[in-house]
Structure 1
Amino acid sequence: MPLQATVLTVEGFRASRLDNERRLFIYLPPGYRRETSAHYPVLYMHAGQRAFDPAAPGTESWRIHRAAERLIESGQMDGIIIVAIAHVRPAEVNEYYHFKAPAEEAPFIRCAGLDYEDFVVNEVKPYIDARFRTLPDPANTGLIGSSAGGLCTYHMGFRRPDVFGKLLLLSPYFVKPQLDDEAPAGLREERLYESYKGRIPVKVWMDIGDAEGLFLPRHVREVAVDLIGQGFRYGEDLAYLEQPEAAHQETDWGDRVHLPLLYMFGRTGSPASLELRGRTEIGLAGGHRTHVNAILRYDSGFAVSVLNGEYRVGDPTVLEALPDGTLLPRRPGTTTLTLSCCGLAATGVYTVVPALSDRVVVEMTADVPPEETPPDAIYGAMGMRLVHAGGNRYAGRFRVPRDAGYRFRFTKGFRKFETDAAGGVLPNRSFRASDDMSLHCEVARWEETRSRASEGRGRVDSTF
């Protein structure tokens, strides 16, 4: 009979400086109870109420325990303990902002990241180390978070390398982007992270989906490249992945969480294939810049984007490629581009055209169910506000970054998402803004506001 894993729930765990309480969900790997002499690495996870199975029907979660189970059962990873720390959302503070909140939030909230950091370091970790068979040193202690939790992981890890030696950042909220026709190129970008100079003894995973709307791959990629410049050794201290077609949501983070788990705690195997992705037409003028997303895949299922490649251009008078994949056009024309990495090679054909703008126009209309008092606006993909255009129709016109990918559902207010005709969860709509385009959509039905009261309420001492 296979050994079972266990999830324990700790109720009402007190955070002294934050003056609140929350739940902890503690995953113990298969064999923990039987192999009483074994000690385990620990991964601390933010927004822990969405770590394991969904708290309620129709809600999203990572199901990180399923990923861990698959890796352990396949022999690709030894057991780890996962401590999922539920998030508390008081209206006046944000636990995941250390130093700076986006300008639109700053007048209303306090950045409580330092207090939350103290809670994890001085209250949660000592509690776990005292009660479970952990390997408490930094090399065996990790932090994982996404979005604002990824930003928090970055700040906590770079501030406290004496505690956390493994940092897993999925779609970190490094930059607050917002459509703004008054801003240069129509996009206002507000930096939310601090820079830390010099290489420190931590191992870092960073990733981003290429369909996260205004959360652009370059927001994360630029931080990764900067860390390489600070002395981080790519592939050893640092890994970066630009995941094709992945959006900014729990299901997508859960779909790829096995990759950073392999990188940090498992065995990645051997390189098996190399693929060049991304735009192959580049503008000489017009402001648009692009890069190759070269994905190196391993026989274990592991994957990483190449930021230290050796590129060879067939005609260097047409194009130049930097080791991180940045493409620099030189003159109109067509050339081959070959990347060599880890004994593998991949070739693509690239064309430089006279001009290509950095932004494209998306015109969007949506027909919605009739209402006695229709709202003034509904909301589509990130930053897209469609205003009432009469009858049941809403419309908007937006200048967005070229090649940005979007996966979304319409909403008419806080968590009032569209559903299918029967009221069920609707698959995400998707599009990629590779050129000017017009989209027309029809909303079948709106769901009622979902209560968040049950968020984080997991099973007590349950097995799976």
Structure 2
Amino acid sequence: MMGSSAGGIVTYNTGFRRPEIFGSIAVMSPFFVKTEFDTEGQLQEYPFYQRYGTHPNLRIWLDMGGAEGVFMEKYARVEAERLIHDGFVPGEDLMLFLDPGAGHSQRDWAGRAQAPLLYFFGHIGEPASIQLHGDSVVGINGPLKQLNPVITYTSGFVQTLMNGTFHVEDPDVLRVWPDGSITPRALGSTRMFLQYGGLTADKEMRVVDEMPEFVKVTVQVKVPPSTPPYPSIYAGFELPYCGEGLYRGSAMIPHGLTFAFKVSRGFGLHEKIGTSGLNRRSFTASSEMDLFYEVEDWDV
């Protein structure tokens, strides 16, 4: 069974409740946590699923895109760690993939659907390449940063390595743990390496004194004159109507969080973007930003 978003939660629950029927489940971009911005623009998180704490005879594919905004990679990481605690073994009955740059859309899920199908029914082949994704700057004071080592195989299969052996040239500057999390130790720069299946990847890292936990992002959207005055629309997060075809809102976004989106009036009611090759908008909350978008037309 395979499902994405809320369908990922349905798939997760179905697999754990009836593993004698569904022996393999692909949980894609699951809606594990409900997120809301409060009146002060602070992000609040609420668990939105049931955990079973069991280890049935079940193979699990779990993924999340790196540009899904408030859905966040960290929820998939946390659940993968909990499944390991329950007895699942990475690379055997559990696969995790954090898809760099992927948003929360059918297009993105279709782009990686071959991976769980190869895992369940095919042959994944041999490791062909490693890429280390993640921020190259970390703060001694600031949010936890974690690397995402993506292994691509000869078959086209992909996965995020959950337990790697990292080597750091100058361990006095920072340490990288097997799950990719980084502990900064002193100001400076160093290079780190990961070896897997005869392949090597490296990344230059810099440690600074402080990185912000959250940054303020303000978004304003102008819509066509024919647009009905909806109370709010969405451009990464909810924007209230402020008159004369304009919507504007601000939120405190976790540092480094990336949003890939189309401006939306609600479920399935997205803006129409031209044929210039751009099929969605995106931003990364790396610093305080004031963004302006204009919707040319709505997709009908």
* Counterpart check, 1:165 vs 2:23: yes
Q: Distance in 2 between matches of 1:399 and 1:407?
A: 17
Kindly indicate whether the alpha-carbon contact (under 8 Å) linking 2:232 and 2:238 is maintained by their aligned counterparts in 1: no
Q: Name the structure 1 match of 2:238.
A: 384
Q: Distance in 2 between matches of 1:191 and 1:301?
A: 33
* Counterpart check, 1:281 vs 2:137: yes
Q: Name the structure 2 match of 1:294.
A: 149
Q: Alpha-carbon deviations, 1:177-225, whole Å to 9, x = none?
A: 2223669xx2211112222334332111100001111000010111112
Q: Name the structure 1 match of 2:177.
A: 322
Q: Call closer, same or farther: CA 1:271–1:227 in 2, change over 3 Å.
A: same
Q: Name the structure 1 match of 2:45.
A: 189
Q: Call closer, same or farther: CA 1:375–1:163 in 2, change over 3 Å.
A: closer
* Counterpart check, 1:205 vs 2:61: yes
Q: Name the structure 1 match of 2:264.
A: 411
Q: Distance in 2 between matches of 1:321 and 1:246?
A: 25
Amino acid at match of 2:209: P
Q: Distance in 2 between matches of 1:378 and 1:372?
A: 11
Secondary structure at the aligned position of 1:445 is classed as: coil
Q: Distance in 2 between matches of 1:179 and 1:325?
A: 29
* Counterpart check, 1:242 vs 2:98: yes
- TM-superposed CA distance for 1:268, in Å, is 0.5
Structure 2 segments unaligned to the other structure (5+ residues):
none
Secondary structure at the aligned position of 1:269 is classed as: coil
Amino acid at match of 1:434: S
Kindly indicate whether the alpha-carbon contact (under 8 Å) linking 1:282 and 1:329 is maintained by their aligned counterparts in 2: yes
Q: Distance in 1 between matches of 2:163 and 2:213?
A: 26
Q: Distance in 1 between matches of 2:13 and 2:266?
A: 32
| Match of residue 258, structure 1, among 114, 117, 121 | 114
Q: Name the structure 1 match of 2:190.
A: 335
Kindly indicate whether the alpha-carbon contact (under 8 Å) linking 1:377 and 1:394 is maintained by their aligned counterparts in 2: yes
Q: Distance in 1 between matches of 2:49 and 2:229?
A: 39
Q: Name the structure 2 match of 1:310.
A: 165
Secondary structure at the aligned position of 2:15 is classed as: helix
Q: Name the structure 1 match of 2:126.
A: 270
Kindly indicate whether the alpha-carbon contact (under 8 Å) linking 1:379 and 1:385 is maintained by their aligned counterparts in 2: yes
Q: Alpha-carbon deviations, 1:401-421, whole Å to 9, x = none?
A: 222222222233554432258
Q: Name the structure 2 match of 1:438.
A: 290
Kindly indicate whether the alpha-carbon contact (under 8 Å) linking 1:403 and 1:432 is maintained by their aligned counterparts in 2: yes
- TM-superposed CA distance for 1:296, in Å, is 0.7
Secondary structure at the aligned position of 1:276 is classed as: strand
- TM-superposed CA distance for 1:310, in Å, is 0.6
Secondary structure at the aligned position of 1:229 is classed as: helix
Amino acid at match of 1:392: G
Q: Call closer, same or farther: CA 1:302–1:373 in 2, change over 3 Å.
A: closer
Q: Name the structure 1 match of 2:246.
A: 393
Q: Call closer, same or farther: CA 1:342–1:376 in 2, change over 3 Å.
A: same
Q: Distance in 2 between matches of 1:371 and 1:197?
A: 51
Amino acid at match of 1:408: F
Map of 1:145-156 to 2, 5 A cutoff? 145-156=3-14
Structure 1 segments unaligned to the other structure (5+ residues):
1-142, 449-464
Q: Name the structure 2 match of 1:8.
A: none
Aligned residues with identical type, % of pairs = 39
Secondary structure at the aligned position of 2:124 is classed as: coil
Kindly indicate whether the alpha-carbon contact (under 8 Å) linking 1:384 and 1:398 is maintained by their aligned counterparts in 2: no
Kindly indicate whether the alpha-carbon contact (under 8 Å) linking 2:29 and 2:63 is maintained by their aligned counterparts in 1: yes
* Counterpart check, 1:355 vs 2:207: no
Amino acid at match of 1:247: G
Question: Please, what TM-score do these two structures have when normalized by structure 2?
Answer: 0.92
Q: Distance in 1 between matches of 2:156 and 2:75?
A: 26
Q: Name the structure 2 match of 1:127.
A: none
Secondary structure at the aligned position of 1:419 is classed as: coil
Q: Call closer, same or farther: CA 1:373–1:159 in 2, change over 3 Å.
A: closer
Kindly indicate whether the alpha-carbon contact (under 8 Å) linking 1:269 and 1:299 is maintained by their aligned counterparts in 2: yes
Q: Call closer, same or farther: CA 1:311–1:414 in 2, change over 3 Å.
A: closer
Kindly indicate whether the alpha-carbon contact (under 8 Å) linking 1:380 and 1:386 is maintained by their aligned counterparts in 2: no
Kindly indicate whether the alpha-carbon contact (under 8 Å) linking 1:176 and 1:189 is maintained by their aligned counterparts in 2: yes
Q: Distance in 1 between matches of 2:121 and 2:299?
A: 41
Q: Distance in 1 between matches of 2:267 and 2:126?
A: 46
Question: Please, what TM-score do these two structures have when normalized by structure 1?
Answer: 0.61
